[in-house]
């Protein structure tokens, strides 16, 4: 992928080190010290920690500068920590239980996110240099990476509301929570009435038949009573037994895996046997995470047909991926996040939606019948509605795929194959296709039939064990497993497109649990970070300095902005809705896009800046185009895959 690219990584910031590890995983040669920087194609540095001005001014290298805040930010130049950025960006306030205070996320989420976005931006810049001879600088900020993860919380702020912390619950689904078992914890997540019916029958708790729980809205209203009753059932079972029971009835569930026990988690042990044995024998140290791969690549098909070279190159300051054609099949966060960034980088992205459009289009709040959430995750795409139960629509998809460069999807493993789109078939119709499959547990998995949600992956990847509120495990408020999984897929795809190797088709496998484990092991290898939240009149402050009883007493009587100014290394913990009154957020992160009718939408800029071939967010898609089907042909026997086609909606995660 990036073979032949030489990288110099300078500095102590975690994002620099992680970015270097990612580039090395993609084939680049990485050094962490050098007397002569002339020999390097790429330099990764953090100018708020180390000197970078001369390298950036020379024009001789692709220089990626990862800083806490942007150069125009009023807080620029200060090497803020990951936790301080969590607090200032609103991320920290989204994590924790409703009855308690905000909780620090147990992994360096903003550093990790910055590393992933920086690696993708570097790969894009390498592609531009290879195809057009343009060398440019890149700026990535932890603050922009943090705010870009707020897509589930910003919609409420756009509507003038404040989104409350929900702990391990879902604001619109119930039951959806962490429940105690006989020997630990289990996450159970229901999203349909059918799942609730099956769970209620399995639990055999008579009170669950009460009218208070008859409808989803009633269950959400009475969620405290509901969760208490569910736990009377789970508390009688071992975690493994409860998990298997939920898997059998098609309900997403999984144990909260302790980081020290990750090596015994069956899917992790199956997919990363060497790392599991090493953890079991030696524990977790600063290098353990490097034994876990966040993506795998292989030939698209066993039959490697001759591939025609790509000829759609662009000149000048067009986006790095100008001329690249992408097909996206997926919903909610992971695949849409990948498609959004590929489009911002200049690719032509066609999003395939089911008839009636993606479910997330209708989520509240929004405008003109489309949700803010959907708009934030799907900018600059052309959208088409296809009913893949019908052969005519599958034929249209085949036509699109024949001329595509990339296919990215987050269906259940095997869903496309059931519809006739196996790797062999895809390789035959398009020998140079880059096909990226994103799933919860991977293609080769100990759980081939287990559904996966972000919350379950956070639990089973070690993230929840590292994030605690009042001593109890709690999920990261942002959809961290979904977002980080999408970022890892984005990097793998762009790195493949930057390759100077032959144009043979490539299959990229991305498991969200692998990415979550990679992040959790990195955090565990570093050890716990110092700091605490203090309650104030109007919220909380986060401090990493020494705190006295007098400081705590004074904070309670002061607004958080005043309290933070009087305590060493303290910053206010911002609410997400407060960001809309923050001049730095408005200038550096927020932007406006238009839809086909001319209406304006609040959207987020990408958190990386390429100096000469910028990534741009411009438009929000309207309703999906409807493909006109030909009149039905005379009835005939269905093709074999049709017996599975009705499952496609269930396979859309």
Active site annotation includes 209 = no
DSSP state of 619: B
Tokens of 1: 């992928």
For 522: left if phi > 0, alpha if psi spans -120 to 50, otherwise beta; the answer is: alpha
Per-residue burial over 324-362, b if 16 or more Cβ lie within 10 Å, else e, is: bbbbbbbbbbbbbbbbbbbbbbbbbbbbbbbeebbbbbe
Nearest Cα to 142, choosing from 52, 292, 18, 289?
18
Identified catalytic residue from 482, 551, 577, 651: 482
Tokens 């144009």 -> residue? 503
DSSP state of 170: B
How many helices, marked H, and strands, marked E, lie in the chain? 26, 26
How long a stretch of residues is the chain?
653
| Residues facing 633 on adjacent strands | none
Cα torsion 632, 638, 639, 641: sign: positive
What DSSP line would sit under 177-198, residue for residue? Answer: EEEE-SSSEEEEE--SHHHHHH
- Residue 584 to residues 151, 577, 590: CA-CA distances in angstroms? 18, 14, 9
Q: Are 366 and 603 in contact (CB under 8 A)?
A: no
DSSP state of 424: H
Pairing of strands 296-299, 506-511: antiparallel
DSSP state of 157: H
Residues labelled as active-site residues: 482
């Amino acid at each position: 992928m990036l073979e032949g690219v030489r990288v110099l990584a300078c500095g102590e910031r975690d994002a620099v080190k992680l970015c270097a590890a990612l580039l090395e995983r993609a084939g680049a040669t990485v050094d962490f010290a050098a007397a002569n920087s002339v020999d390097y194609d790429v330099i990764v540095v953090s100018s708020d920690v180390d000197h970078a001005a001369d390298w950036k001014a020379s024009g001789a290298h692709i220089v990626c500068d990862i800083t806490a805040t942007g150069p125009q930010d009023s807080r620029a130049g200060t090497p803020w920590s990951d936790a301080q950025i969590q607090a200032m960006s609103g991320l920290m306030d989204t994590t924790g239980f409703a009855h308690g205070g905000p909780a620090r996320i147990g992994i360096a989420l903003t550093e990790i996110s910055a590393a992933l976005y920086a690696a993708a931006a570097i790969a894009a810049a390498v592609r531009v240099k290879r195809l057009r001879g343009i060398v440019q600088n890149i700026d990535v900020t932890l603050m922009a990476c943090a705010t870009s993860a707020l897509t589930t919380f910003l919609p409420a702020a756009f509507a003038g509301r404040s989104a409350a912390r929900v702990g391990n619950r879902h604001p619109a689904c119930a039951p959806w929570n962490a429940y105690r078992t006989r020997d630990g914890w289990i996450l159970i997540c229901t999203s349909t009435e059918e799942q609730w019916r099956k769970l209620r029958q399995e639990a055999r708790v008579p009170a669950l038949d009460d009218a208070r729980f008859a409808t989803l809205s009633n269950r959400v209203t009475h969620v405290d009573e509901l969760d208490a009753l569910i736990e009377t059932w789970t508390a009688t079972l071992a975690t493994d037994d409860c998990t298997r029971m939920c898997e059998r009835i098609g309900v997403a569930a999984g144990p909260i895996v302790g980081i020290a026990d990750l090596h015994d988690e069956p899917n992790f042990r199956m997919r990363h046997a060497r790392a599991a044995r090493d953890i079991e024998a030696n524990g977790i140290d600063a290098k353990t995470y490097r034994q876990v791969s966040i993506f795998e690549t292989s030939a698209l098909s066993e039959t490697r047909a001759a591939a025609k070279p790509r000829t759609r190159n662009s000149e000048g300051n067009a986006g790095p991926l100008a001329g690249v054609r992408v097909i996206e099949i997926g919903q909610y966060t992971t695949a849409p996040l990948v498609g959004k960034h590929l489009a911002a980088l200049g690719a032509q992205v066609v999003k395939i939606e089911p008839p009636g459009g993606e479910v997330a289009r209708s989520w509240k709040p929004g405008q003109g019948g489309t949700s803010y959430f959907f708009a934030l995750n799907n900018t600059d795409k052309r959208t088409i509605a296809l009913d893949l139960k019908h052969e005519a629509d599958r034929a249209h998809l085949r036509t699109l795929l024949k001329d595509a460069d990339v296919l990215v999807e987050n269906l259940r493993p095997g869903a496309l194959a059931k519809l006739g789109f196996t790797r062999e078939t895809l390789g035959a119709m398009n020998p140079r296709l880059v096909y990226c499959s994103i799933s919860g547990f991977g293609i080769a998995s100990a759980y081939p039939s287990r559904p996966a949600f972000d919350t379950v992956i956070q639990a089973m990847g070690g993230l929840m064990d590292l994030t605690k509120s009042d001593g109890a495990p709690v999920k990261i408020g942002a959809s961290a497993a979904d977002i980080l999984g999408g970022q890892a897929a984005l990097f793998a795809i762009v790195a493949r497109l930057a390759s100077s190797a032959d144009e043979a088709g490539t299959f990229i496998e991305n498991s969200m649990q692998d990415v979550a484990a990679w992040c959790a092991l990195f955090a565990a290898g570093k050890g716990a970070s110092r700091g605490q939240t203090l309650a104030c009149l109007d919220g909380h402050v986060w401090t990493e300095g020494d705190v006295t009883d007098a400081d705590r007493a004074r904070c309670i009587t002061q607004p958080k902005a005043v309290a933070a100014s009087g305590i060493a290394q303290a910053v206010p913990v911002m609410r997400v809705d407060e960001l809309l009154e923050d001049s730095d957020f408005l200038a550096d992160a927020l932007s406006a896009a238009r839809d086909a009718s001319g209406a304006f939408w609040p959207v987020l800029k990408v958190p990386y800046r390429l100096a000469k071939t910028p990534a741009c967010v411009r438009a929000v898609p309207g309703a999906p185009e409807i493909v006109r089907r030909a009149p039905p042909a005379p009835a005939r026997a269905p093709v074999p895959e049709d017996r599975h086609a009705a499952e496609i909606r269930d396979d859309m995660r």
